[in-house]
Structure 1
Amino acid sequence: MPLTTTRNSPDWPCQVKPPGSYDWERSAARWLRELVPARYSGYPALIRHPVLLARHAQIQVHHEIRVARTALQTARTELPPLGLPESVIEHSIKLYAAEIRQLQHIARSVRAVTEALVGHGAVR
């Protein structure tokens, strides 16, 4: 099964070795563990099954996108009553928008790594 996503792709994370190279699955798992809450890194099923870890990372990132979108959409109505100055609110809005773009890129990267793991038979 040929892979369309490689390390040269803009979606491939630079922290992960190219699919098929020596120890690439380990580099993928290490990167994916950084995307999930720390307490998950000790779960044996997630350690032994990188595809399961990738699935959980996908879910985690999608939830983070949803949280950032909610924060962005509600900033103008919910932040003023907290007594925050307009400049802080505007800065927060820019921050949330940038975070959403970054998380969307991470989501594409997780998807690329997941496809590579599945395509290289990382399901054990």
Structure 2
Amino acid sequence: MSLPVAPPGWPAEVRAPGAPEWEASAEAWLLDLCPPDHRSYPVLRRHLVVLARFAVLHVEAGQLACRRGLSEARAELRGLVEPEVVDAVVDTWLREDARLAGARRAVGLVEEAVRGRRFRPRL
């Protein structure tokens, strides 16, 4: 029997697929990714695969919003704030875009595991 393996990009807060209580750790992490109101929907609490799909879509929506904010930042803020503030806003959007890219990879891996994929160690 092989040991549970977590692939690169797997969230540190979630136990490796197949480890004891890994699904409970995945549920807690996925709920933390979603808006707080998602905790009140029974279907998301009862079906981990559904929660994972909701979390993927939520992170992807954040990515779209981030990219829109980045594309509009200079034009929307010009004349409203100083140029260095606009530069700081653009830098913030770039950092958020990078954070969301990592979150998207992680949530995608968790969704794959919830759907039954098991990962193998790489040599």
TM-score under structure 1 length normalisation: 0.88
Tell me the equivalent position of 1:42: 40
Tell me the equivalent position of 2:112: 115
* Aligned with 2:10 (options 9, 12, 23): 12
Tell me the equivalent position of 1:66: 64
- Work out the CA distance in 1 between the residues paired with 2:33 and 2:95: 18
Q: How many residues align?
A: 114
Tell me the equivalent position of 1:104: 101
> Moved runs in structure 1, 4+ residues, more than 6 A?
none
Tell me the equivalent position of 1:86: 83
- Work out the CA distance in 1 between the residues paired with 2:67 and 2:106: 19
Tell me the equivalent position of 1:56: 54
TM-score under structure 2 length normalisation: 0.88
Unmatched segments (≥5 aa) in structure 2: 118-123
Q: How much identity, in percent, do the aligned residues show?
A: 35
Letter in 2 for 1:40: H
Three-state SS of the structure 1 residue aligned to 2:115 is helix
Shift of 1:10: 2.6
> Residue deviations 1:38-76, cap 9 Å, x none?
011111100000110000000000000000000000111
